Structure formats: structure tokens, C-alpha cells
Structure 1
């Protein structure tokens, strides 16, 4: 990614693109060390198609944490589906990190 995200929403959008493009390095770099997996294999990931931001709480340039709720559409061999998640982010040393999220019913 060319620019460091300035808000939690910007980080969410960049992570969606990274999932779409199967950029495991960016996903791991932007995942908080306390919750980050050791490796990330995206070979069998679905084909991500679209991102809709549903809600944001905090996560602005000067905040230390934030929440971004989103719906992401993807295609599998069985058709189109939606991932609906409310994600938590923190900012440390001027950088935003994804911490974790709660999956919602869409």
C-alpha cells in the first residue's frame, strides 16, 4: 500500500483491497501483534467484490481506537455471499491496526 492509512476506515478499506488482491503481507503488517496469526494463506479465499461501510465509531486521525462495521460481498462456487463484521482497530505509534471483529447476521 502506498500510503499509511490515517483513519480506521481507511485501514479497513485498504485491508479489503488486500484481501481482494491476496496481499497477505499487508494484512499481516496491519494486524495487531496481539491477535495476528503467524501466517496467512489466502490461496482458497473467496473472490471479494465490494465493500460497504455501515457504521464507524471513533477511528479518526487523532483517536486511539475505533470501530468500523462493514458488509463485504464475495463470490464462491456456490454464488454471492456477504460478510458482515463489526471490527475493532487501535492506533499505536501513529499507525492503525486491525485487532479483531464480531461477525454479524446480514
Structure 2
């Protein structure tokens, strides 16, 4: 997120870090709470932040549709690193029929 400069008519200039989508919107003054228009004092400070600050801001901006995983690697049931499919109980006969090992045949289609 870039850092934008604003000028409050009562309190003076201040800077706020905001998303790119809100670059036109006025910001609330941190002292009086009034709307302050954005001023062009310089280019937005995108590259002036350290990598630790960038990581912290990225963590704060994470949305609910992108939950944080508690384990490394791929998500659940990714298929590539799970070691293959576990064998099921379904067995096929030579003529293409299905049979279920160690199951009751009358409970197949309930």
C-alpha cells in the first residue's frame, strides 16, 4: 500500500497509508476527524518500505477468501504429495460388475 499526503484545513499536513483503490477519496484527519483532501507532495512511497513492513501490511490485507494455512506445502487433498490414492472397498469382476470386499451386498445402494 502506498503512502499518500493529505492536507487538513485546520490541522495541517499528514500522511496515510491507503490501498490503491482509495487514492481519490479524502482521508479523515487524525487530530480533528475532518475530511482532508489529498495533495500531491511527491510520488507515492511504494518502494521506501522495508520488506518486514511490506510483509506485515500484506498479512493485514489478507481476505477471508484467502485463509492462512497452519502447515507448509499444498492444501488439503492436493493429490501431488499425498502418496497416491488409498485403496477403496470396491472390487471389479472380470465381466465389469462391482463387488465390495468385506461388505454386505444388500446395503450397496441405500
Fold in common (TM above 0.5): no
The structure showing larger relative contact order (alpha-carbon pairs under 8 Å, at least 6 residues apart) is 1
The structure richer in strand per residue is 1
Structure with max Cα Rg: 2
